[in-house]
Amino acid sequence: MMDVGLGPLGNAALYLALAFSVWGIVAGAIGAIRRDARLLTSARLAGVATFLAMTASIAIMEIALLTDDFSVSYVASTSRAGNPLWVKMVTLWAALEGSLLLWGWLLSGYWALLSIVAPNSPLRAWALTTMAVVQTFFVLVPAVIAPPFEVISPAPLDGPGPNPLLQNHWMMAVHPFLMYLGFVGLTVPFAFAMSALLSGRPGSEWMLQTRRWTLIGWGFLTAAIITGGWWSYEVLGWGGYWAWDPVENVSFLPWLTATAFLHSVQVQERRHMLKGWNLLLIILTFSLTLLGTFLTRSGVVSSVHAFGDGPVGPAFLTFFLIVMAGSFGLVAWRWDGIRDRADLDHPVSREGSFLAGNVIFLAIAFAILLGTLFPLIVEAFTGDKVTVGAPFFDQATLPLWMGVLLLMGIGPLLPWRRANTQTLRGNLAWMTGAGVIAAAVAYAFGLRGIYPILTVGLSGWNLASLTLLLLGAVVPRMRVGTRSVVQVLTGYAFENRRRFGSMIVHFGVVVMALGIMASSAYRIDEQVRIEVGDTMPFQDLTFTVQDTFMETTEYRVGAGAVVDVHRDGSLLTTLRPKINTFFGQSMNVPTPDVLYLPLYDVYLNIAAGVTPDSEFVVLRVVRSPLVAWVWIAGFIMAFGTAFALIPSRRGVRGTQRAPKGSSVA
């Protein structure tokens, strides 16, 4: 042999990472038990070393992808020599083996970062050891179970390229990355929770130390789910963004439990109760990310006949079971230190509303998990095939979502411990008034049906609540000083970043609720056949098919139609929906073209193949109101999360050394 190929080199990096992460477990555990500072330092270095080795493996894979080294199995099965540069780069996570490698790399990044920045507390040793355990699994997967670095000899001359649905849109470069950042972000609070149990300090310390990590993980997961919806809107060609598909559902489950966790940790922080519950929630959240990967990567859900197809599914199932058994075992072991005598001054209080919200979030998660698994369970026991589709998920979760919106309005206005009846009545009057007016206005403008009207009403209720919150913060501050409204408001926002950030996120949720309601309940679908050169009216628009076209690039052939969209005689835009066929792939990929407007989107998709000499085109036309606001809401929520994360000038733990005069909350 001449020189070492990239495949063996990549494998060497992975085995190195495996050795480092196993050392991280051994040194961490022994160091923690013996309180050996040198071993613990060694374990921290193992985290950094693992990250470096994983980075090397990622770099080797990228080099293999960019230099078209088809002797590497992953490159041979998912890349293609003629593809554009950016597609080759993101091909890293376009298929199973590569995306698990990416997951392992991002995890090692968090572990290394944590090794460096985590404060030297009694929790650190076991937290890093837990990270090492999780990391070991995520190195074992690419090293042994789903290896991307197999050597193929003789190397093929070219590969088929990634799944065409993935190379058809740039958002593919963003969505999986965000998803894994969310998943691994939520591993950090899980690791600290395990450490709290292992080191016998199941108080609130683990939770306070990981507050920001939790928020980071949650923020990435939120952004990932929304960009996933956007990607499916732009690529799948049916004009929707959420189909209650199993893959979507299982990515949504950890988000739901993480959202519940985000709220209930505040109860523990302020009122020192729910210790056990919060541990349960973070265990559940982390386990659900594993269960979701098992369900979607093993082919169990989409097709029962593929059960056990490939070793990745069973590996995740095994790790899921180990995590569940291990963490619940720890909870049982430490139960005496966890159970506490909880005091609740009054159910109508901040903590009361957060608890009710928790029940609702978990009920939603349960309904979705059940609906996703039900066909599988029934087929396993009776052999019958059943379908649980979108109508079930809508009907089962919509009432609960209304409950979420209701509580989201009232919760932040309630003080901790006990609400002042007088203030509460006043607030409720304003909010109910706003809600009723909003619902009435919606009705007057032609909205019908219980959920649309309820959604608008509850949006009014929530906007009133947010207004009251801001007024409650700003008005007293205006009275005591001579500063302008803007100064007071920015001052308040930056002094109370978490609270103000949460208001932004909640506002984003309202916008999203309106967008989802309008775009799902008032969407208009049509399939039209238009002769080339003809004009067809559609609602208040007209479509003119100018021409058909066929374009060939280095990578694909696209065939579609040029359609002018007019409203009131003036040209709004020219849309060019087409169908792409990528070289090396047989599948045709619909490539819709969308006119984004504030009030509604016009979505055109080619429904039947077009050739240059076609005399007509068949278009799928979708007009969904307010759908753009779903994405805008996503940006608002991401911004709110980022705002809450801005480090305070008073230092990260500013709440602990409250300076004088800070009691004016």
Footprint of another protein on 474-493 (CB under 8 A):
none
The smaller minimum CB distance to another protein, of residues 31 and 457, is found at 457
Query: Can you tell me which of 120, 387, 422, 586 binds another protein, judged by CB under 8 A?
Result: 387
Q: Which 401-430 residues touch another protein, going by CB under 8 A?
A: 430
Q: Is 280 in the site for another protein (CB under 8 A)?
A: no
Q: Is 359 in the site for another protein (CB under 8 A)?
A: yes
Q: Which 334-353 residues touch another protein, going by CB under 8 A?
A: 341-347, 352
Give the pair of three-digit tokens for residue 137. 């699994």
Long-range contacts of 198-204 (CB under 8 A, 24+ apart): 198/32, 198/126, 198/129, 198/130, 198/330, 199/32, 199/122, 199/123, 199/125, 199/126, 200/334, 200/337, 201/122, 201/123, 202/275, 202/279, 202/334, 202/337, 202/338, 203/275, 204/268, 204/269, 204/272, 204/275
The smaller minimum CB distance to another protein, of residues 38 and 660, is found at 660
Q: Is 400 in the site for another protein (CB under 8 A)?
A: yes
Other CB atoms within 10 A of residue 471 CB: 12
Query: Can you tell me which of 41, 318, 395, 420 binds another protein, judged by CB under 8 A?
Result: 395
CB 562 within 8 A of CB 549: yes
Q: Which 282-321 residues touch another protein, going by CB under 8 A?
A: 302-303
CB of 434 to another protein, least distance (A): 5
Residue with tokens 């921290």: 44
Residue with tokens 């095939």: 385
Q: Which 32-71 residues touch another protein, going by CB under 8 A?
A: none
CB of 362 to another protein, least distance (A): 7
The smaller minimum CB distance to another protein, of residues 12 and 376, is found at 376
Size of the site for another protein (CB under 8 A): 80
Give the pair of three-digit tokens for residue 460. 């009014």
The smaller minimum CB distance to another protein, of residues 49 and 364, is found at 364
The smaller minimum CB distance to another protein, of residues 392 and 492, is found at 392
For 270-311, the DSSP string reads HH---HHHHHHHHHHHHHHHHHHHHHHHTTTTT-GGGTT-SS
CB of 341 to another protein, least distance (A): 6
Residue with tokens 């979607």: 296
Q: State which H helix or E strand residue 4 sits in.
A: none
CB of 378 to another protein, least distance (A): 6
For another protein, which stretch binds (CB under 8 A), given 71-79, 174-182, 210-218, 521-529?
Answer: 521-529
Q: Which 561-620 residues touch another protein, going by CB under 8 A?
A: 590, 598-600, 605, 607-608, 620
Query: Can you tell me which of 291, 404, 442, 604 binds another protein, judged by CB under 8 A?
Result: 442
The smaller minimum CB distance to another protein, of residues 433 and 647, is found at 433
Q: Is 445 in the site for another protein (CB under 8 A)?
A: yes
Query: Can you tell me which of 67, 318, 420, 467 binds another protein, judged by CB under 8 A?
Result: 467
CA distances from 274 to 224, 255, 414 (A): 29, 20, 19
Query: Can you tell me which of 405, 447, 505, 644 binds another protein, judged by CB under 8 A?
Result: 447
Q: Which 127-186 residues touch another protein, going by CB under 8 A?
A: none
The smaller minimum CB distance to another protein, of residues 215 and 516, is found at 516
Query: Parallel, antiparallel, or unpaired for β 570-575 and 556-567?
Result: antiparallel
Q: Is 534 in the site for another protein (CB under 8 A)?
A: no
Which sign does the torsion angle of CA 340, 346, 351, 353 carry?
positive
Query: Can you tell me which of 47, 161, 164, 246 binds another protein, judged by CB under 8 A?
Result: 246
Which of 449, 580, 464 is closest to 521 using CA atoms? Answer: 449
For another protein, which stretch binds (CB under 8 A), given 36-44, 85-93, 331-339, 356-364?
Answer: 356-364
The phi-psi region of residue 272 (left if phi > 0; otherwise alpha if psi is between -120 and 50; otherwise beta) is left
Give the pair of three-digit tokens for residue 126. 């076991």
Give the pair of three-digit tokens for residue 21. 């992460």
The smaller minimum CB distance to another protein, of residues 6 and 468, is found at 468
CB of 61 to another protein, least distance (A): 29
The smaller minimum CB distance to another protein, of residues 74 and 252, is found at 252
Other CB atoms within 10 A of residue 145 CB: 16
Query: Parallel, antiparallel, or unpaired for β 570-575 and 578-582?
Result: unpaired
CB of 509 to another protein, least distance (A): 16
CB of 58 to another protein, least distance (A): 31
Task: Give 143's DSSP letter.
Answer: I
Q: Is 446 in the site for another protein (CB under 8 A)?
A: yes
CB of 559 to another protein, least distance (A): 15
Q: State which H helix or E strand residue 563 sits in.
A: strand 556-567
Tell me the helices (H) and strands (E) count for the chain, helix number first.
Answer: 21, 10
Distance CA 474, CA 500 (A): 12
Q: Is 224 in the site for another protein (CB under 8 A)?
A: no
Q: Is 507 in the site for another protein (CB under 8 A)?
A: no
